[in-house]
Amino acid sequence: MLINKWVKAKAACSNLWHYTNFKRFATQIKNSEDILETPNYEPDKFYEDIKKAYECTVTPSLKLFYNEPLLIHKGRGQWLWDHRGKRYLDMFAGVATVSVGHCHPKIVAAMSEQASKLNHVSSIYMHPHLYEYANKLISKFQGKLKVVYLTNSGSEANELAFLMARLYTRNHTVVSFKNCYHGATYGTVASTAISTWRYPFIVQPPGYLHAVYPDLYKGSWSGSKCRDSDVQVSENKCNCRNGECIASEKYFQQFEESFQFSLPRTHSIAAFVAESIQGVGGTVQYPKYYLKKIYDYVREKGGVCIADEVQTGFGRTGEHYWGFESHGVEPDIVTLAKGIGNGFPLGAVITSPDIAASLNYALHFNTFGGNPLACVVGSTVLDIIEEEALQQNAYTVGTHLINKLANLRSEFPNVVGDVRGKGLMIGVELISNPETKQPLEAERVLDIFENIKDMGVLVGKGGLHANVLRIKPPLCVTKEDADFTFTVIKNALEMHEEKYRNN
């Protein structure tokens, strides 16, 4: 009986999937006859061979999503196709990376043209595209942020930012928040504070401190105005006046304590680094004014402030081009990656001439950083965001989606604990008990996650307990895509409710 209902629900959703997607297919992806192609692979053999290679040849610590991992061979805009020709609405964008859409025709054209002219010269010679791109990228920043170093990834950008901060301040400690993610290299993983990413037996490098992070949902303090976004964590009325947030004050006192107990009293910090909204940690937003207070405090202690914009940059959060702008702060160093290259390996560190000059203590060299192809891609991404008003789209579509998803908290109060985020950076925290806010059991989260995929939508998961659905699509998604995503998530929650009703 239960199974019957489940199958029916699935069938209904699958019709919905075909109808909605087919309609949109016709209107949105014009002149792309080739999208209709049936993939000319031998699906089973091809699939099994590749899966085996992933299991046996590629490092075993790479974990694939889904019981039957997806084999993706084609992408366009916000769509991906698997080896069977099934189409998915990509609401995760290769982990918040495909900013302007898969295989954007303008990027394909720019890459092909550049690839036929010049791919690589290394940083020992000049080429015109670095000059062109550096100026264009710097024009997106204000004040003292006038120098750019190009890298190949976010980890590399953060590693370089820590190095510059240490050389500039002549201090060593890098302070980050618990629940943050800043990369997978030796230094950046030491700054990362989510246990999933930390290896046993390895002596972490010295000079990293993890300070308390203000989790408005699970932490001790929150009110009805704490978040700088449409959806608040709490119905609790608060009496904070304009420009004030008591939760922020309380968390700041805790932050200050980490310093008082763990660090020397004077000039002790090289840098404080934070994402503008925690990404891998499960889309965690800080209370208003919080980062501003921390920036002031860190500077008093002789440190510089690093904004990790790897996920929150390039208009993803909607209201601003850079996530840090919504906190009213001016970082000393900004690190960029992911969306900067729409999937092409590219990263950047932006800083002031003074801080940049600190690298002159030695030679600094990066074989691929700033190569002609990367610069052309990066430059085209900036143009597309502007021409297609993608930041505005992130704001409009993201706000629409987050407000719809917020209603799921009252529809499924025993499973949906919190909905948060800004623009097209959204998290839905799944819980097993609204009082204790315990995470939903992994097996149930996976069930929901699988069903969302089966109905044609790809989302991510994150947070310390991997119980937060992460929605970070290409910035070109439409309101229809948002509605479809909402319907699919709602259906998956209904299926979950049905399946576990008596458990």
Ligand X SMILES: Cc1ncc(COP(=O)(O)O)c(C=O)c1O
CB of 491 to ligand X, least distance (A): 29
CB of 146 to ligand X, least distance (A): 23
Q: Which of residues 86-125 bind ligand X (CB under 6 A)?
A: 95
Q: Rounded to whole angstroms, how far apart are CA atoms 346 and 12? A: 42
228 binds ligand X (CB under 6 A): no
User: Which residue in 266, 126, 283 sits closest to 215, CA to CA?
Assistant: 283
Q: What are phi and psi of 272, to 5 degrees?
A: -115, 130
Contact, 101 vs 76, CB < 8 A? yes
Record the tokens describing residue 158, joined without a space: 């953060």
Q: How far is the CB of 183 from ligand X (least distance, A)?
A: 4
Binding string, residues 363-402; x marks residues near ligand X by CB under 6 A: ----------------------------------------
> 304-363: which residues touch ligand X (CB under 6 A)?
308, 310-311, 337
Binding string to ligand X for residues 267 to 306, with x set by CB under 6 A, is what?
A: --------x---xx--------------------------
Q: How far is CA 167 from CA 21, 41, 270, 275, 358, in A?
A: 53, 53, 8, 22, 6
Q: Which of 20, 78, 114, 155 binds ligand X (CB under 6 A)?
A: 155
Residue 60, SS3 per DSSP: coil
Sign of CA dihedral 398, 239, 285, 162: positive
For residue 297, give the DSSP letter: H
Q: How far is the CB of 441 from ligand X (least distance, A)?
A: 25
Min dist CB 309 to ligand X, Å, is: 8
- Token pair of 485 as six digits: 């995503």
* 155 vs 342 by CB, closer to ligand X: 155
| CB nearer to ligand X: pick between 310 and 419 | 310
Q: Is 153 in the site for ligand X (CB under 6 A)?
A: yes
Q: Minimum distance between the CB of residue 252 and ligand X, rounded to whole angstroms?
A: 22
Tokens 């999208």 sit on residue: 35
Q: Which stretch binds ligand X (CB under 6 A): 59-67, 178-186, 326-334, 462-470?
A: 178-186
Structural tokens at position 448 = 């929901």
**What residue is closest to ligand X based on CB?**
154
The DSSP H or E segment spanning 68 is none
User: Tokens in use for 114?
Assistant: 């550049």
Nearest of 379, 388, 391, 386 to residue 342 by alpha carbon: 379
Q: What residues line the site for ligand X (CB under 6 A)?
A: 95, 153-155, 158, 181-183, 275, 279-280, 308, 310-311, 337
